[in-house]
Amino acid sequence: MHNNRRKKHTLRILSMWFVLLFILGGAAFGVTRYRSVKSAVNSSFAPSGIIKQRDVNSELKNKKPISILLMGIDTDSSVKNYQGNTNSMMILTLNPDTQKSTITSIPRDIAVKKINGSNNDKAATISSAYSVNGTRTAITTVEKLLNVPVDFYALVNMGGMSKAINEVGGVDVTPETSFSFGGYTFTKGVKTHMNGNKAMAYVRSHANDDTTRQGRQRQVLTSLVSQSKSISTLFNQDLIDSVTDQVQTDLTFDQMTTLAKNYSSVGKTTTDDSLKGTAAEVNGQSMETVKNSELQRVTDSIRDNLGLEKATTGNIEYVVTSNANY
């Protein structure tokens, strides 16, 4: 149980870092190593296979708010060959008009009535959507759950996080609390240089509470992005390759450079949110059910930052009834 939670938090960091490094930091990479970066990024390109709800190229060109579904996995095999469940799901919205971004987590155990395309007609966790028909099913399930458009996706393997930190020579972080975890000790107020393994221990720890853990994640993320954009690492092909080897996305290199150019200010204000469910036993399996009012709250929040009109939330959530097994 704790291991799954730690993986989820690490996946969250890696997904956020991918977006910041290769989207918001893409312009610098594009200037210094255009050909090598373009080749590396294009190697990660994989269409979702769905008809998008919006004209995404027009949205990018006209600097309109966009959404990206970030999905995290943990595998020793190739990202492109992965066929299992996702370990984490987040919807990232970027609004250049308000200079605001939102990151909304969707718990992996949220129950939906049925996964389209699945041979099983029973309720299932949203994390299993990817295992049915890859990104196509994962994206459409999220869209139907919340009634929000998904413009792009990024599938990220957490295995690249530690290696990427090592490629930039480690990160410098000043802990805000003192604690020990994973064989490492961290002291409040003492600037600490961390290699990949130590940084992983720092962000995976459940010391104190979720708020301080999220703060630690942001510290490592900020330091990593800062290190990655330094002059020396701009020419580090191993760093570029270590990230793109762990990523699959339907964002093209040209779209990423457009994002880097037109959306560089969206990180000034970032809001974290999470769809909140309640633990339940559904068909003999542990899942989380979510109230319609909570779904509507999250739908309103995401659509608001996308500049869209209010709309009724989706209707594929699993609702516990008096006859259900829970």
Average pLDDT on 266-289 reads 87
Q: Residue 225 — very low, low, confident or very high, per pLDDT cuts 50/70/90?
A: low
Q: Residue 77 — very low, low, confident or very high, per pLDDT cuts 50/70/90?
A: confident
Name which of 83, 99, 225, 104 is nearest 168 in CA terms: 225
| More confident: 326 or 124 | 124
Q: Residue 260 — very low, low, confident or very high, per pLDDT cuts 50/70/90?
A: confident
Average pLDDT on 125-141 reads 95
Report how far apart, in Å, the C-alpha atoms of 189 and of each of 178, 179, 209, 214 are. 8, 12, 18, 17
The whole domain housing 274 covers 45-306
Look at residue 157 and tell me if it is in a domain.
Answer: yes
Please tell me the predicted confidence (pLDDT) of residue 193: 95
Q: Residue 47 — very low, low, confident or very high, per pLDDT cuts 50/70/90?
A: very high
Instruction: Answer whether 112's CB lies under 8 Å from 124's CB.
Output: yes
Q: Residue 267 — very low, low, confident or very high, per pLDDT cuts 50/70/90?
A: low
| Residue 233's CATH number | 3.40.630.190
Own/partner long-range contacts of 3-9 (Cβ < 8 Å, ≥24 apart): 4/87, 5/206, 6/204, 6/206, 7/72, 7/74, 7/87, 7/88, 7/158, 8/72, 8/87, 8/88, 8/108, 9/203, 9/204, 9/213, 9/217
Write a three-state SS string for the chain. CHHHHHHHHHHHHHHHHHHHHHHHCHHHHHHHCHHHHHHHHHHCECCCCCCCCCCHHHHHHCCCCEEEEEEEECCCCCHHHCCCCCCEEEEEEEECCCCEEEEEECCCCEEECCCCCCCCCCCEEHHHHHHHHHHHHHHHHHHHHHCCCCCEEEEEECCHHHHHHHHCCCEEECCCCCEEECCEEECCCCCEEECHHHHHHHHHCCCCCHHHHHHHHHHHHHHHHHHHCCHHHHCCHHHHHHHHCCEEECCCHHHHHHHHHHCCCHHHEEEEEECCCEEEEECCEEEEECCHHHHHHHHHHHHHHCCCCCCCCCCCECCCCCCCCC
Look at residue 14 and tell me if it is in a domain.
Answer: no
Report how far apart, in Å, the C-alpha atoms of 162 and of each of 22, 88, 239, 265 are. 17, 18, 11, 28
| More confident: 273 or 162 | 273
Name which of 85, 248, 66, 65 is nearest 154 in CA terms: 248
Kindly report, residue by residue over 207-222, the tens digit of the pLDDT.
764 446 656 766 776 6
Average pLDDT on 305-320 reads 93
Number of domains present in the structure of the chain: 1
Look at residue 38 and tell me if it is in a domain.
Answer: no
Kindly report, residue by residue over 13-40, the tens digit of the pLDDT.
444 444 545 444 444 444 455 666 677 7
Radius of gyration of the chain (CA): 19
| More confident: 23 or 281 | 281
Instruction: Answer whether 25's CB lies under 8 Å from 229's CB.
Output: yes
Look at residue 170 and tell me if it is in a domain.
Answer: yes
Question: What's the first-to-final CA gap in the chain, in angstroms?
Answer: 20
Look at residue 8 and tell me if it is in a domain.
Answer: no
Residue 10 in this model has a pLDDT that exceeds 50: no
Look at residue 162 and tell me if it is in a domain.
Answer: yes
Q: Considering the chain, what is the average pLDDT of its residues?
A: 80
Please tell me the predicted confidence (pLDDT) of residue 58: 94
Average pLDDT on 173-185 reads 92
Please tell me the predicted confidence (pLDDT) of residue 200: 81
Counting residues of the chain whose pLDDT is more than 70, the rounded percentage is: 75
| More confident: 169 or 145 | 145
Look at residue 28 and tell me if it is in a domain.
Answer: no
Average pLDDT on 238-259 reads 79
**Stated pTM of the model:** 0.79
Please tell me the predicted confidence (pLDDT) of residue 219: 77
Look at residue 35 and tell me if it is in a domain.
Answer: no
Please tell me the predicted confidence (pLDDT) of residue 130: 95
Average pLDDT on 119-143 reads 92
Residue 9 in this model has a pLDDT that exceeds 70: no
Please tell me the predicted confidence (pLDDT) of residue 188: 93
Please tell me the predicted confidence (pLDDT) of residue 269: 78
Residue 197 in this model has a pLDDT that exceeds 90: no
